[in-house]
Chains A and B, each alone.
Chain A
Amino acid sequence: MTVRFFRPEQARDIAVIETYDPRVSRQGIGLRRLGDAGPVGSRASTAPATRPPADLPGLEPSWSRLITTPDLDGVGRTFHVLDNAVSNPRVTLLCVHGNPTWSYLWRKVVAKADPGVRVIAVDQLEMGFSERTGATRRLRQRVDDLCALTTEMGLDGPVITVGHDWGGAISLGWAARHSARLEGVVLTNTAIHQPEGSPAPALIRMARLPGVLQLVCVATPTFIDSALALSRPRIPQPVRDAFHAPYRSAGRRAGIGAFVEDIPLDPAHPSAEALDEIVAGVEKLRDIPALLLWGPSDPVFSDIYLRDLAGRLPRADIHRFVGASHLVCEDADVAGAIHAWVGQLHGSQPPPAAPPPRPPAWAGLERRARDSDVAMVEMTPRGRQRSITFADLGADVKRVAAGLVEAGVTKGDRVALLVPPGVDLAVCLYACWRTGAVVVLVDAGLGARGISRALKSAAPKYVIGIPRALVAARALRWPGERVAALPMDRRTARALGVFTTLDDVRRAGSMAALPLEPDDMDDAAVVFTSGATGPAKGVLYRHHQLQAQRDVLARLYDISDADRLVAAFAPFALYGPAIGVPSVVPAMNITAPGTLEAVALADAAAAIDATLVFASPAALANVVATSGALTPPQRAALARIRLLLSAGAPVSRSVLSAANELMPNAEPHTPYGMTEVLPVTDVTLGEIEDAGDGNGVCVGRPVFGVAVAVSPLDAVGRATGELTTVAGVTGEVCIQAAHMKESYDNLWVTQHRTTQPPGWHRSGDVGHFDAEGRLWIEGRLIHVVSTDIGPVTPVGIERAVESLPSVCQAAVVGVGPPGTQRVVLAVVPNDGCGRLHLAPETLATQVRAVTHVDVAAVLTVPALPVDKRHNSKVDRTRVATSAGTVLAGGRIRKL
């Protein structure tokens, strides 16, 4: 929307009603009111403060207090506040609601408070159950009111402010005036500044149209309804009613209209100066810990305000609750997040030890800077190749690095690289690292929607992309200034909003100086890979962690200058130049690794006389399936491979041994790990065969420098946090390594929850060690069946069932309440079946014969739902839901 709805004459209209005296306001006294009629004041009436009805869901009547305090005009005003009245608290949370809500918004924050934490949630005057003064209260006066209230309450000791919507700005106003005892600030979907170049939220502008304001905010409860309607899933009716409770008449809603009107969208607005003062006051808070909790689906306070606030509060921890909207407190566990954060503010953790110094990521390029050997080859389907020598690659990286600085990229800026693996990606990646920029890497397998989500979360300042990516960036409004990775004519560039091209960057860089090298502790990359379920999480790595990962791979696989790598697996493919190893990218569709053909792999191997192959399990499976087309020279090229590595998802033994037949001189390895830390363990095909059958999948022993332990499960399948490596104990796999991620990106809650105990990464996988120290993965923690005889893990049982000749695939799920769940098997029979139903008796008997637990039912399904990318991670949660319905006597639906 490009039309500006605000008209200057509106501001004049307002000024007629209320005369603004800057002299007075500079003294902090606020607006002097001449007329009693505010802009929406025609129906404003006075009413004393009251207590809320006793039966509002989630609200304890004992929390309600009425407090009278003189305002700055000396008139006694009565506030309604929620207060858990903890005496001698170690900290007090002062919660300020926005418009059109009331303190009810914070009820869960009050309810979930830890001992020693006092929570006060205020109803602002004219709002909630506080007094209706009949006057319009403007921003500065609201801050004054809040200060007067806390003085009256005798609130001393450390305080953390908590604000939502315009309550955020008001709470920051209070915070700036009390910075000496301010321990932190928590902000949820709010704003204090309209970032340059962005229009004010269309919804607010619309609500401010003449006539609309009165109708929508005051005469009818439309504004409240609209705010409540933003939430998905729907807020339950009793809770919606509770939000409406203090606003049952037009007279009681006058404050809502006045609040909307008080948003200073224009510098001439009477509250503009007060807001500027708040912005200036936030400057004082740069060293204050902050927590920003955000519902990114908010049509009003979008991510741009989150970024604005994050820039002003450098110590901010951020969590974006994907899917949550404006009333993020209703849509997500904001209360839990706040209390977890408050709790860790007090727990002192030793600062992490400085990592040992390692060579920078581009060290391999510098070492071979004068080398005319081929560094990288890009294969295309028609047999053409593009290649670059180490010398040229190193020089190009320097040129682009300098050019990026010329183009405005500075240290710490995020740069998304939407470029397929190959020479250009390598150049951009190492150039970004060299300048100190943080690369944002998104797995193309996520699809347009997934990439959209990832980029909105990571919020890159720049996007370097191939034309197809730039078209999507334009159409889907991905954040970031656009740089074309390929040459582009002016018209196309303009149409795509591209401000420069990689070639222009190169040209500019050839005459510019290189910036200082980044520090090992600087951020280096935000990586998104596709999970089996749920939106992809951004994982932040610092330089020292990537260096450690590079070194652990080189050591583990004994990689030297004599090696040459076929890189068909994205994460590791990036390290070829870093280790100084020539790499080739085979011709393949990167969005579908399962399309890599044997011929393409062999041609790539032949092009550089490769010794190493890194390929995903899906790619490897297709290579095996298409190996019939290989010519004798192609087979010979594959026979020269010494190491075959497949990672990213569980690899089937049969695929690995079939691939081994194609590469008879290669030792097949499959490391275990995840986006957050890789590798964790490593195992060879021979070791897998030696290990034989067990409860789960054998993933080998921890690699050098990695600590692995399990956190045993309790009776209902929760990880207890007591780490052990005792053989035979099943628990959540927890990992500690130098090459582990720094944190999740903009996911503070996830980071906090998965970093337990501190310094360890909770993987979400469950497994056990055997007596030989080998780790066996038994499934995902969320897929553990919580039976009355304890937790049952899926993978071992599934493998036993899949060993039946009549079964193609199996999934173990639980039905019923945790603690007394029953085990159910969903199997895909080899001869197929029409739809989900009970298995025939013979099959059910066979399945029960190979399982060691009581199986309540055996269901046949035509196929199991799996993730698109790996085609192997079974969505057992979905299977469990369908099985639960059917086995409760519900209708049989499609899985």
Chain B
Amino acid sequence: MKALVTGGTSLLGSTTARKLRARGDDVTVFQRRPSGLGAREVLADIADAEAVTRAVQGADVVIHAAAKVEMAGPWPAFEQTNIKGTVNLVRTARDSGVQRFVYVSSPSVAHAGRSLVGRPATPASPESARGSYARSKAAAERLALAANESGFSVVAVRPHLVWGPGDQQLVGRIITRARQGRLAIIGTGTALVDTTYVDNAADALVAAADRAHELGGRAFVVSNGEPRPVSELLNRIVVAAGLPPIRLRVPAAVARAAGAVFEQLWDRLNREDEPPITRFLAEQLSTAHWFDQRETRRLLAWRPAVGLDEGFSRLAEWFRASKPTGSL
């Protein structure tokens, strides 16, 4: 089949493109910078309508992984990339004869800050989602799924906390903070959190693309199905990078309060960089979020191929193979 993958420089986008190519699909990637994947590339911003039209030409399937993924920042930027970019891509794809569209979403689109304990995927809710990223992704998911119709199947896949070798989002941030001595366990560190090893997430996207005709209009949370206490996860990541375990601890209430203060401050100062803590992050790190994966696994006919232990050993291997100072 002919597939367009957006966000080809992201960990998940590039892994998905590689997997599709490996099984013989004709893949085009779409992003701002060259991906080095060796596939046909369209280099442009997702908001560039002309480039988008060019990219979707002839594609059967679109996997839309491109997004602005930042913890904080001014809303218009999120709206521009995540909402308008998605709407434009969905419309253009539909109008140019694409039949299957997989929207890469996030469980945070339906997360109101409380603990999620073994929950199924609930509808996206921009009203209650926390932070600009989650709000914009929620609105975009809703719009994308609304475009589902006969002949144009739209499926949303929400991988939870994707990580793996080369990951800049989760692993990269954790290691940077750990190196700066700023990484703390928030609260007791006991909240169970599920994550997704990148290969498993990519497999799930491919499975969703293959079965989009049966699953159109639905959203699926995807994870490894191996929740662990958050402090255990953070420590395994830093230990994989060859760093000492985390010593610092911050009470959850303090972290949430600090998050609120920093968000306000960054907003007033119009700073574009990330504040040290946000409320969203404080909540994510002090409340449980793991999911009921039964329906996802059954309907996608997918199972995570890489378990946590295997994932962490691959991560450690990757850190060892990288430069001693770390190339992140």
Q: Give chain A's interface residues, CB within 8 Å of chain B.
A: 788, 815-817, 819-822, 837-838, 841, 844, 854, 856-857, 884, 886-892
Contact across chains for A889 and B294 when beta carbons are under 8 A apart: no
**B13 interfacial contact with A, CB 8 Å:** no
In the complex, 10 of the A-B residue pairs with CB atoms within 8 angstroms, ordered by the A residue number, are: A815-B192, A820-B118, A820-B292, A820-B294, A838-B232, A854-B226, A857-B192, A857-B229, A888-B191, A891-B188
Min C-beta distance of B306 to chain A, whole Å: 14
Contact across chains for B188 and A892 when beta carbons are under 8 A apart: yes
Set B191, B229, B245, B292: member contacting A817, Cβ < 8 A: B292
**B225 interfacial contact with A, CB 8 Å:** yes
Which residues 253-299 in B have Cβ within 8 Å of A in the complex?
Answer: 286-288, 290, 292-294
Set B191, B231, B294: member contacting A788, Cβ < 8 A: B294
With a cutoff of 8 Å between Cβ atoms, the chain A residues found around residue B288 in the complex are 887-889
With a cutoff of 8 Å between Cβ atoms, the chain A residues found around residue B73 in the complex are none
Min C-beta distance of B238 to chain A, whole Å: 12
Q: Which 10 A-B pairs have the closest CB atoms?
A: A816-B118, A889-B191, A820-B292, A888-B288, A888-B115, A889-B287, A820-B118, A817-B118, A887-B192, A886-B190
Q: B285: nearest residue on chain A (CB-CB)? A: A889
CA distance in complex: A887, B188 (Å): 9
With a cutoff of 8 Å between Cβ atoms, the chain B residues found around residue A888 in the complex are 115, 117, 191-192, 287-288
**B68 interfacial contact with A, CB 8 Å:** no
Which residues 201-236 in B have Cβ within 8 Å of A in the complex?
Answer: 225-229, 231-232, 235
Contact across chains for B188 and A886 when beta carbons are under 8 A apart: yes
CA distance in complex: A857, B115 (Å): 17
Q: B189: nearest residue on chain A (CB-CB)? A: A838
**B44 interfacial contact with A, CB 8 Å:** no
Q: A854-B225, A857-B232 are in contact. List 18 more A-B contacts (CB 8 A).
A: A817-B117, A817-B118, A822-B227, A837-B190, A838-B188, A838-B190, A838-B231, A841-B232, A841-B245, A844-B232, A856-B226, A886-B188, A887-B190, A887-B288, A888-B287, A889-B191, A889-B252, A890-B115
With a cutoff of 8 Å between Cβ atoms, the chain B residues found around residue A884 in the complex are 117
With a cutoff of 8 Å between Cβ atoms, the chain A residues found around residue B119 in the complex are 817
With a cutoff of 8 Å between Cβ atoms, the chain A residues found around residue B159 in the complex are none
CA distance in complex: A327, B245 (Å): 57
With a cutoff of 8 Å between Cβ atoms, the chain A residues found around residue B192 in the complex are 815, 822, 856-857, 887-888
Q: A857: nearest residue on chain B (CB-CB)? A: B229
With a cutoff of 8 Å between Cβ atoms, the chain B residues found around residue A890 in the complex are 115
Set A817, A819, A889: member contacting B187, Cβ < 8 A: A889
CA distance in complex: A201, B290 (Å): 54
Q: B292: nearest residue on chain A (CB-CB)? A: A820
Min C-beta distance of A622 to chain B, whole Å: 38
- Write out, one digit per residue, whether chain B residues 24-65 have a CB within 8 A of any chain A CB (1) or not (0): 000000000000000000000000000000000000000000
- Write out, one digit per residue, whether chain B residues 285-317 have a CB within 8 A of any chain A CB (1) or not (0): 011101011100000000000000000000000
With a cutoff of 8 Å between Cβ atoms, the chain B residues found around residue A837 in the complex are 188, 190
With a cutoff of 8 Å between Cβ atoms, the chain B residues found around residue A822 in the complex are 118, 192, 227, 290
CA distance in complex: A767, B255 (Å): 47
Q: Give chain B's interface residues, CB within 8 Å of chain A.
A: 115, 117-119, 187-192, 225-229, 231-232, 235, 245, 252, 286-288, 290, 292-294
CA distance in complex: A192, B235 (Å): 70
Contact across chains for A820 and B231 when beta carbons are under 8 A apart: no
CA distance in complex: A841, B245 (Å): 11
Contact across chains for B292 and A889 when beta carbons are under 8 A apart: no
Contact across chains for B188 and A889 when beta carbons are under 8 A apart: yes
Min C-beta distance of A475 to chain B, whole Å: 46
Known: A822-B227, A844-B232. A887 touches B191 (CB 8 A): yes
CA distance in complex: A888, B252 (Å): 13
CA distance in complex: A821, B292 (Å): 9
Set B115, B118, B252: member contacting A821, Cβ < 8 A: B118
Q: B307: nearest residue on chain A (CB-CB)? A: A854
Residue among B189, B190, B228, B290 with most chain A CB within 10 A: B190
With a cutoff of 8 Å between Cβ atoms, the chain A residues found around residue B286 in the complex are 889
Min C-beta distance of A130 to chain B, whole Å: 44
Min C-beta distance of B184 to chain A, whole Å: 15
Min C-beta distance of B8 to chain A, whole Å: 33
CA distance in complex: A815, B292 (Å): 12
Residue among B119, B188, B189, B294 with most chain A CB within 10 A: B188
With a cutoff of 8 Å between Cβ atoms, the chain B residues found around residue A821 in the complex are 118
Q: B239: nearest residue on chain A (CB-CB)? A: A841
CA distance in complex: A225, B287 (Å): 39
Q: B287: nearest residue on chain A (CB-CB)? A: A889
Contact across chains for A889 and B115 when beta carbons are under 8 A apart: yes
Contact across chains for B188 and A857 when beta carbons are under 8 A apart: no
Min C-beta distance of A888 to chain B, whole Å: 4
CA distance in complex: A815, B227 (Å): 11
With a cutoff of 8 Å between Cβ atoms, the chain A residues found around residue B252 in the complex are 889
CA distance in complex: A270, B216 (Å): 73
Min C-beta distance of A848 to chain B, whole Å: 9
Min C-beta distance of A701 to chain B, whole Å: 38
CA distance in complex: A841, B312 (Å): 15
Set B225, B229, B293: member contacting A887, Cβ < 8 A: B229
Q: A715: nearest residue on chain B (CB-CB)? A: B294
Q: A822: nearest residue on chain B (CB-CB)? A: B227
Contact across chains for A838 and B229 when beta carbons are under 8 A apart: yes
CA distance in complex: A838, B187 (Å): 13
With a cutoff of 8 Å between Cβ atoms, the chain B residues found around residue A854 in the complex are 225-226
CA distance in complex: A563, B326 (Å): 80
Set B228, B235, B294: member contacting A856, Cβ < 8 A: B228
Min C-beta distance of A883 to chain B, whole Å: 9
CA distance in complex: A630, B231 (Å): 53
CA distance in complex: A788, B295 (Å): 10
Q: A844: nearest residue on chain B (CB-CB)? A: B232
CA distance in complex: A304, B188 (Å): 53
Known: A819-B294, A886-B190. A856 touches B227 (CB 8 A): yes
Contact across chains for B228 and A816 when beta carbons are under 8 A apart: no
CA distance in complex: A820, B223 (Å): 13
With a cutoff of 8 Å between Cβ atoms, the chain B residues found around residue A857 in the complex are 190, 192, 228-229, 232
Q: B191: nearest residue on chain A (CB-CB)? A: A889
With a cutoff of 8 Å between Cβ atoms, the chain A residues found around residue B245 in the complex are 841
Min C-beta distance of A837 to chain B, whole Å: 8
Known: A788-B225, A889-B190. A816 touches B232 (CB 8 A): no
Min C-beta distance of B240 to chain A, whole Å: 13
With a cutoff of 8 Å between Cβ atoms, the chain A residues found around residue B187 in the complex are 889
Contact across chains for A788 and B287 when beta carbons are under 8 A apart: no
Q: B186: nearest residue on chain A (CB-CB)? A: A889
With a cutoff of 8 Å between Cβ atoms, the chain B residues found around residue A820 in the complex are 118, 292-294
Known: A788-B225, A820-B294, A822-B227. A815 touches B117 (CB 8 A): yes
CA distance in complex: A886, B229 (Å): 10
Residue among B187, B229, B252 with most chain A CB within 10 A: B229
CA distance in complex: A696, B115 (Å): 34
CA distance in complex: A844, B287 (Å): 21
Contact across chains for B293 and A892 when beta carbons are under 8 A apart: no
Min C-beta distance of A859 to chain B, whole Å: 8
Min C-beta distance of A200 to chain B, whole Å: 51
Min C-beta distance of B282 to chain A, whole Å: 11
Contact across chains for B292 and A819 when beta carbons are under 8 A apart: yes
CA distance in complex: A829, B252 (Å): 28
Q: A788: nearest residue on chain B (CB-CB)? A: B294
Min C-beta distance of B53 to chain A, whole Å: 43
Q: B187: nearest residue on chain A (CB-CB)? A: A889
Contact across chains for B190 and A841 when beta carbons are under 8 A apart: no
CA distance in complex: A820, B221 (Å): 14
Q: B115: nearest residue on chain A (CB-CB)? A: A888
CA distance in complex: A838, B189 (Å): 9
With a cutoff of 8 Å between Cβ atoms, the chain B residues found around residue A841 in the complex are 232, 235, 245
CA distance in complex: A887, B229 (Å): 7
Min C-beta distance of A477 to chain B, whole Å: 45
CA distance in complex: A821, B294 (Å): 11
With a cutoff of 8 Å between Cβ atoms, the chain A residues found around residue B189 in the complex are 838
CA distance in complex: A886, B286 (Å): 11
CA distance in complex: A838, B245 (Å): 15
CA distance in complex: A808, B311 (Å): 32
